[in-house]
């Protein structure tokens, strides 16, 4: 299934441009060309060639484990023990993790418990303290890592414990070799873009002239987002890895949502809601709502309606970096609700607006193989996207609808055609 | 509908990264960063800021008009006359155009006919001779322009004559002002990426060791593609603007197609066929087959199955620049047929393969307004994507399914809840 | 997976109508035939030939008008005046309607107001008192009529005032002729099947042995449904015309719902919810969730998932008369919410179940033309299903993807093929 | 748009069965009721209670086996031997089957070969000669049985040999008990409705006044269909079990098809084609084109566009018994191609028309369990419709998008909300 073809030199030469970069050619015919604007020029590395390297050896490693799942306990203890004793790293864990009664009873863990550095989620600032993150257990652990690091995110290595997830490419068997390999800098990276979201409250907006403006900058000083519902306080950014969802919440009325793109009114969405997702999120909730699957290296934002009341409202994919503004239509009977990666659910009132754009801080997700293989493996595993045997009945169908011209039928045919 | 909101300074500041560029941040936590590989670094201009400029004043203008449509004649004559007499440009037209009996009868045109430079499509090489292209009539004219220029394409200004098309943003009224404006260099550009396709024939492959290899390079010397069916001759590239389609052709059997991406077997497609499209093509045939709509500035390739015999085979969007290989599955009962932007239809035999990647030569399509507005306007016009009045009945429905809590009903409710 | 539930006698009794299909041929080959079971044989009239007739001249007419819409006032007054003065009918109106301040100010209406018979919705029983119903204003009025008559429904003639609705085929102009025509018995009927729903509460179930069972019969004596949330009281039927929806309500967790059909576990639905709709409802909320459109004369029940978390869960259409049971999966983290034609929203707890089947009491909806024409006209009007001009851009597209073989291109082709 | 075609007497006669729907209630309110029309009343048996019985013991059994599949040989020999020796039945097989070299080499079969009655497909009339049909191997065998019996079809018992098919519910293990059981009359029946199709050629139509009309009747005397391409000869009916497909065939142009229903122009389809299917066919090609799945007992016809060039053209489900007429639009550039259950492919020219309605001769398909269980089992097996484990990744997703409120996250939440 995964047969890797040998690329002949011929074929290797054939690739003439990088993955997902804009056109390198700037001249069109003898006279036309793109206007130079030095402010808009930037240097980029071909995303397909992105590999992890370490500026200095990583020392502080944060281990995140799935909660409420006893099967994760033993791998967790093994991993932490190995990191401390073999790799001499400083292991950070969320303090609540150590309160787990099952973990407390684990004798092996008692010996290393005191060597772990703990922090309190939401109270302690991790900025610049963590060199490396290891996730154990499920896609939720990577979402949690994303939540913890609202600015620069250290490289993340994510192990699934059961079956492959969209965000967790590594299997735990022989984790030692794999972690060592990564620590030595042998790994491809997928930079998973995140969406930077902010709710601008009507009330706050009314007073913003006399308040400071830097709360809208990408980075706030705390390193922890603090979206709030009170009208008086400024909102701050929240970065999502999968999606921000606007829905009608508990209201029985349908949502009526205005969508603006770079300041332009694009459409009004009537239906159950709207999903704005990163490419990583295209295989999450957006998929259930009918979206196409977008590879995480495509620099794009996906806009997917939820049960739209117009047959012509297909999902759309727009370039990363555009700015979306979403607000309740003035004539809408009800408000909407917003949630960020399935969390922080809050009401969006008339006059409020949600702004979304691509963040400059992606999640650097370490690949098990490479950007392409990891993604298609997860599609196959999670969506049964490439599973031949599943198609047996439809193979049969193919015989039928295609022609079904089996021997005995051919004869009849020739009679019929006379 | 198109209300343009004033962006406050606050909002303008908020944008922190360019449209559709990979992440500008290269460092992740205190230690991690992307490995520098100077060979893979390149400079790009923010696509959102792409504007046309002229290196030197354009002189030679190619005018392409829709054929077999008498309504185009009068605008065509007006335009050509104006370009020659007022703008003193050299106007090129395809020689077959001048053979049109209706045009021959047009007295006004007789005066200027001799001043036009003609060329024979497929015989004369236009490379480096045309500075500027004007299309009149329909999306087909832009596809034709793409076909004529298989390498660098001069800037294209496309007028629709009836209603707005996906590829033809300008309306013909006051064309003088609009063309003048563009000639003075005031225009945004959408660089529409094209797909570079090549069919590698089994027979040719068998002999390729003793033949030259440069036919596989992006540019062949002729400037005109010459895909051929004969086994002995090398195939050359063909660049498509919308899509390349692989289908079962006249065969009653279903296609069984193997899809490889960067040398890796991704999936086997069983169904009526497969569409590989550029973002421009996402609103063409791919849309009918169920694809999402992708903005032309998103650097991506879209892969869409046609009536797939697996419920889990959704359309996928992969990064521009990957290399696709498509071939008939060894166990497939029948061959397939390939067509390029709806043309050059030919059979793909067992052992042959079709290679597709992003070309470095996009079509620089001049915007009427800007990249974003033009696209959403064409969605609204062509797909009725944003037409409020159309939703009236479903608005009504919204009242019903949402709640329908009309006055009289509320009363009943309260009774029911007792 | 296929657990076969024991049907209690209660549940077996609940089925009141047959699956309905209808091969008139009962013999297959020389020997085979369908077993005669006189208990299961019934006489039916060809639905396509269903026409309204009056057993005796209708006297009591109920007029239902859209609320909170001032444009309905004038037609309402005209209609009521004409019915009373010209047709000498007894006009019933909901008492709340007469409280409308705008109506009170209408001088013309003052003269006839006292001649109207009023009733209080939810308090007065209309059973056997109304011969004929006229609806004015929108699909919601027909849903309201359905709600008022939870058993036999008098023939309903529904006028749209703006544009044609799915349920409101008549236009108001020359209403006199049209109503007269219907009163004379010249009209085709569409019998819109309704779904009979009942919530069986776990707590009630526990005590049901010592309670009466006849509350589960199709007809309760009150003529008004009285679904209740209290655990002690028996639930009664509620008949819906469009759909019953089970969703996750305000809960952020997804629903996990078990679906049983005729006592057999069919599937577990994970997603935002599930829509069970009549054919009439197939063009309402179910359509937004991706269902096919089912003509109201097809005896079927449609089951449509809302954003299902499985790519293979398509909408399904099962025969009218089957019995569905829907309950929260034992392992589901959250409960669900149920609403009936968008109303009566209430929580479905673990252990509760929702039963749905086809009611024997359809809504006899009078056709403007006939069953087929009315339906396709509403599709065209409400969904733009058959609007040629809308397809212009895609017509253009058709030229392109199909072939685009325009004159000038043909020439090139022939060159290319050399 | 709504052009009403004059129905010729010929066409009016053609309808041989009613729309079937089934409200048993005929009275609406105190006065309204359905007009009695004794010509339109019929007796039907509740389809859900349809069980097979034998008028006299079946003697002649036709065994159909999958061709070109050596794994079917051994079961075939076992079955035939047992039927002859144990059950003393007369076994019919298609003569071509006995020519299979593998079968000829089978020594066991030599002993019974001479006891088989053979017939030549397309030459010998089987009408009234076969009491019972057994199919071995795949859904194609049932389609073949349908093709052989273009009028009344004897009861069919279909075994799958690999995995369960949509049309082949029985597994071969202990076939003796199962066949005995059926022969004793213990079996539920699914009456799979078929579509009766006829191509009316323009040329033939021009001359039909002077030709006989009875070729359009449901039954032709031969028992074998004989659709022909010659213009002079009258066409006859062909009955399909799954679907009739109209597509653009080898033409690169898209189809432009006019669809009429009961003489009324319903819509014009622009796209790759159109599928008209029975409920049985809803899980075949129509499913790949996006249709909902319709239970075979729902008396309906499904109309599904193939890659329609209009976002609003959803599949529709209309009542069984309506008459469809499909013809090439006068302004269509190309013709179309028609195929019947994947066979008999032929061109549909301008002026020709295809008529489709429900046949009165269904295929009586014997259930392994019952109508409902068999269907849902095949959905689960063939489409993985109800397979829990497949949803693991999306289960995980559900945790994430739903809330992901895992322990550690909850704490953060509470902080964030402050």
Residue B168: the pLDDT is 93
Query: pLDDT (tens digit, 9 = 90+) per residue, D397-416?
Result: 443 333 333 333 333 332 33
**Position with higher pLDDT, A350 vs B48:** A350
Task: Determine the average pLDDT of the residues in C399-409.
Answer: 33
Dist CA D292 CA C304 (whole Å):
9
Contact C172, C71 (CB under 8 A): no
Dist CA D224 CA D238 (whole Å):
9
Cβ-Cβ contacts under 8 Å, A97 against chain D: 408
CA distances from A383 to A198, A273, A287, C316 (A): 32, 24, 10, 21
Among B138-142, C106-110, C391-395, the minimum mean pLDDT is found in C391-395
pLDDT of C80 > 50? The answer is yes
For all residues of chain D together, what is the average pLDDT? Answer: 78
Dist CA C328 CA D68 (whole Å):
48
Among A205-219, C63-77, D342-356, the minimum mean pLDDT is found in A205-219
**Position with higher pLDDT, C9 vs D188:** D188
Task: Determine the average pLDDT of the residues in A315-337.
Answer: 91
pLDDT of A351 > 70? The answer is yes
C339 touches chain A (CB under 8 A): yes
Residue C346: the pLDDT is 92
Interface test with A, best of D162, D393, D398 (most A CBs within 10 A): D393
Residues 6 or more apart whose Cβ sits within 8 Å of residue C337: C246, C247, C248, C249, C250, C345, C346, C347, C348
Two tokens, residue B311:
């419920």
Query: pLDDT (tens digit, 9 = 90+) per residue, D358-373?
Result: 888 899 999 999 888 8
**Position with higher pLDDT, A237 vs C389:** A237
Residue D221 C-beta-side C-alpha neighbours within 13 Å: 1
Residues 33-62 on B with a CB inside 8 Å of D are none
C233 touches chain B (CB under 8 A): no
Query: pLDDT (tens digit, 9 = 90+) per residue, B83-103?
Result: 999 999 999 999 988 888 888
C274 touches chain B (CB under 8 A): no
State the SS3 of chain D: CCCECCCCHHHHHHCCCCCCCCCCCCEECCCEEECCCHHHEEEEECHHHCEEEECCCCCEEEEEECCCCHHHHHHHHHHHHHHHHCCCCEEEEEHHHHCCHHHHHCHHHHHHHCCCEEECCCCCCCCCCCCEEEEECCHHHHHHHHHHCCCCCCCEEEEECCCCCCCCCEECCCHHHHHHHHHCCCCEEEEECCEEEEEECHHHHHHHHHCCCHHHCCCCCCCCCCCCCCCCCCCCCEEECCEEEEECCCCCCCEEEEEEECCEEEEEEEEEEEEEECCHHHHCHHHHCCCCEECCCCCEEEEEEEEECCCCCCCEEEECCCCEEEEECCCCCCCEEEEECCEEEEEECCCCEEEEEECCCCEEEECCCCHHHHHHHHHHHHHCCCCCHHHHHHHHHHHHHHCCCCHHHHHHHHHHHC
Residue of C150, C198, C195, C194 lying closest to C355 (CA atoms):
C198
Residue B290: the pLDDT is 93
φ/ψ of residue D142, rounded to 5: -70, -35
B132 touches chain C (CB under 8 A): no
Among A74-78, A377-381, C200-204, the minimum mean pLDDT is found in C200-204
Residue D66: the pLDDT is 87
Query: pLDDT (tens digit, 9 = 90+) per residue, B131-190?
Result: 999 999 888 999 999 999 999 999 999 999 877 788 999 999 999 999 999 999 889 999
pLDDT of B130 > 80? The answer is yes
φ/ψ of residue A317, rounded to 5: -120, 120
Residue B217: the pLDDT is 40
- Confidence category of residue C24, pLDDT binned at 50, 70, 90: low
Name the minimum distance, in Å, from the CA of D384 to any CA of chain B: 9
Two tokens, residue B277:
């499209």
Residue D93: the pLDDT is 95
Are residues C403 and B226, on separate chains, in Cβ contact within 8 Å? no
Residue C42: the pLDDT is 56
Two tokens, residue D52:
């097979």
Question: DSSP letters of A365-389?
Answer: EEPSS-HHHHHHHHHHHHH-TT-GG
Most confident segment among A41-55, C114-128, C345-359:
C345-359
pLDDT of C122 > 80? The answer is no
Residue D244: the pLDDT is 97
Write the residue in D144, D227, D401 that is nearest to A409 by C-beta. D144
- Confidence category of residue B12, pLDDT binned at 50, 70, 90: very low
**Position with higher pLDDT, B32 vs C356:** C356
pLDDT of A211 > 80? The answer is no
pLDDT of D43 > 80? The answer is no
Are residues D154 and C28, on separate chains, in Cβ contact within 8 Å? yes
Task: Determine the average pLDDT of the residues in A187-198.
Answer: 93
pLDDT of C96 > 60? The answer is yes
Cβ-Cβ contacts under 8 Å, A59 against chain B: 31
Q: What is the CA radius of gyration of chain D?
A: 25
User: What are the structural domains, with CATH classification, of chain B?
Assistant: 60-193+364-382 (3.40.50.10330), 195-208+217-360 (2.60.200.30)
Among A83-87, B284-288, C41-45, the minimum mean pLDDT is found in C41-45
Residue B161: the pLDDT is 86
pLDDT of A84 > 90? The answer is yes
Cβ-Cβ contacts under 8 Å, A384 against chain C: 311
pLDDT of D41 > 60? The answer is no
pLDDT of A218 > 80? The answer is no
Cβ-Cβ contacts under 8 Å, D289 against chain B: 307
B27-28 sheet: strands from edge to edge? A52-54, B32-34, B27-28
Residue C221: the pLDDT is 36
Angle formed at CA B216 by CA B211 and CA B219, multiple of 5 degrees: 125
Residue C38: the pLDDT is 58
pLDDT of B395 > 60? The answer is no
Residue A41: the pLDDT is 57
Task: Determine the average pLDDT of the residues in D159-167.
Answer: 86
Residue of B28, D344, B176 lying closest to A151 (CA atoms):
B28
Write the residue in C249, C307, C384 that is nearest to A288 by C-beta. C307
pLDDT of D205 > 60? The answer is no
Q: DSSP assignment, residue B139?
A: H
Count contacts between A and D (CB, < 8 Å).
197
Residue A45: the pLDDT is 58
**Position with higher pLDDT, C386 vs D177:** D177
pLDDT of C21 > 70? The answer is no
C7 touches chain D (CB under 8 A): no
Two tokens, residue A107:
């004798």
- Confidence category of residue B404, pLDDT binned at 50, 70, 90: very low
Residue A286 C-beta-side C-alpha neighbours within 13 Å: 29
Task: Determine the average pLDDT of the residues in D385-393.
Answer: 47
Query: pLDDT (tens digit, 9 = 90+) per residue, A264-281?
Result: 898 888 899 999 999 999
Name the minimum distance, in Å, from the CA of B384 to any CA of chain C: 8
The residue annotated as part of the active site, out of C46, C106, C128, C139, is: C139
- Confidence category of residue D346, pLDDT binned at 50, 70, 90: very high
pLDDT of A93 > 80? The answer is yes
Are residues C292 and D312, on separate chains, in Cβ contact within 8 Å? no
Name the minimum distance, in Å, from the CA of D131 to any CA of chain B: 33
Among B100-109, C7-16, C402-411, the minimum mean pLDDT is found in C402-411
Instruction: Tell me whether residue C139 is one of the annotated catalytic residues.
Output: yes
- Confidence category of residue A291, pLDDT binned at 50, 70, 90: very high
pLDDT of A245 > 70? The answer is yes
Q: What percent of chain B clears pLDDT 90, i.e. is strictly above it?
A: 46
Name the pTM for this structure: 0.86
**Position with higher pLDDT, D195 vs D230:** D195
C30 touches chain A (CB under 8 A): no
pLDDT of C379 > 60? The answer is yes
Report chain D's terminal Cα–Cα distance, integer Å.
61
Residue C385: the pLDDT is 66
Task: State the residue for tokens 């052992």.
Answer: B351
Complex ipTM value: 0.84
DSSP SS3 for B111: helix
A394 touches chain C (CB under 8 A): no
- Confidence category of residue A167, pLDDT binned at 50, 70, 90: very high
Write the residue in C68, C123, C229 that is nearest to B406 by C-beta. C68
Most confident segment among B237-246, C47-56, C317-326, D34-43:
B237-246
Task: Determine the average pLDDT of the residues in A104-113.
Answer: 87
Residue of B276, B280, B291 lying closest to B323 (CA atoms):
B276
Residue A193: the pLDDT is 93
Task: Determine the average pLDDT of the residues in B349-356.
Answer: 94
Cβ-Cβ contacts under 8 Å, D337 against chain A: none
φ/ψ of residue B208, rounded to 5: -70, -20
Residue of D23, A164, D297, D117 lying closest to C16 (CA atoms):
D23
pLDDT of C62 > 50? The answer is yes
CA distances from D238 to A416, B251, C346, D121, D339 (A): 10, 22, 52, 16, 11
Task: Determine the average pLDDT of the residues in D126-143.
Answer: 92
Question: DSSP letters of C343-405?
Answer: EEEEEE-TT-EEEEEE-S--EEEEPSS-HHHHHHHHHHHHH-TT-GGGGHHHHHHHHHHHT--
């Amino acid at each position: 299934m995964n047969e890797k073809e040998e690329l002949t030199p011929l074929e290797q030469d054939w690739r003439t441009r990088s993955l997902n970069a804009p056109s390198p050619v700037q001249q069109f015919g003898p006279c036309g060309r793109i206007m130079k604007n030095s402010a808009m020029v930037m240097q980029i590395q071909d995303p397909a060639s992105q590999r992890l390297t370490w500026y200095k050896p990583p020392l502080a490693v944060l281990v995140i484990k799935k909660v409420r799942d006893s099967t994760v306990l033993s791998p967790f203890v093994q991993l932490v023990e190995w990191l401390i004793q073999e790799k001499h790293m400083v292991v950070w864990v969320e303090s609540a993790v150590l309160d787990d009664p099952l973990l407390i009873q684990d004798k092996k863990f008692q010996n290393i418990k005191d060597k772990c550095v703990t922090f309190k989620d939401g109270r302690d600032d991790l900025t610049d303290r963590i060199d490396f993150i290891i996730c154990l257990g499920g896609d939720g652990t990577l979402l949690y890592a994303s939540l913890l690091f609202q600015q620069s995110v250290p490289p993340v290595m994510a192990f699934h414990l059961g079956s492959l997830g969209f965000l967790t490419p590594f299997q735990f068997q022989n984790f030692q070799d794999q972690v060592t390999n990564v620590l030595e800098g042998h790994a491809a990276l997928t930079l998973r873009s995140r969406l930077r979201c902010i709710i601008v409250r009507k009330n706050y907006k009314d007073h913003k002239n006399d308040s400071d403006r830097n709360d809208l900058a990408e980075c706030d000083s705390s390193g922890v987002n603090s979206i709030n519902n009170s009208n008086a306080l400024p909102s701050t950014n929240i970065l999502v890895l999968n999606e921000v969802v606007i829905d009608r919440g508990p209201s029985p009325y349908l949502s009526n949502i205005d969508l603006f793109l770079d300041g332009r009114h694009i459409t009004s969405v009537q239906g159950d809601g709207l999903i704005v997702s990163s490419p990583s999120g295209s295989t999450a909730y957006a998929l259930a709502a009918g979206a196409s699957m977008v590879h995480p290296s495509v620099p794009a934002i996906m806009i997917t309606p939820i049960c739209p009341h117009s047959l012509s409202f297909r999902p759309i994919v727009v370039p990363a970096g555009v700015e979306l503004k979403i607000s309740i239509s003035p004539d809408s009977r009800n408000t909407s609700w917003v949630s960020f990666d399935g969390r922080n659910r809050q009401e969006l009132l008339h006059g409020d607006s949600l702004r979304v754009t691509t963040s400059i801080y992606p999640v650097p997700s370490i690949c098990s193989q490479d950007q392409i293989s990891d993604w298609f493996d997860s599609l196959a595993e999670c969506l049964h996207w490439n599973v031949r045997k599943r198609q047996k009945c439809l193979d049969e169908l193919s015989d039928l609808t295609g022609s079904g011209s089996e021997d005995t039928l051919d004869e009849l045919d020739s009679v019929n055609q006379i």
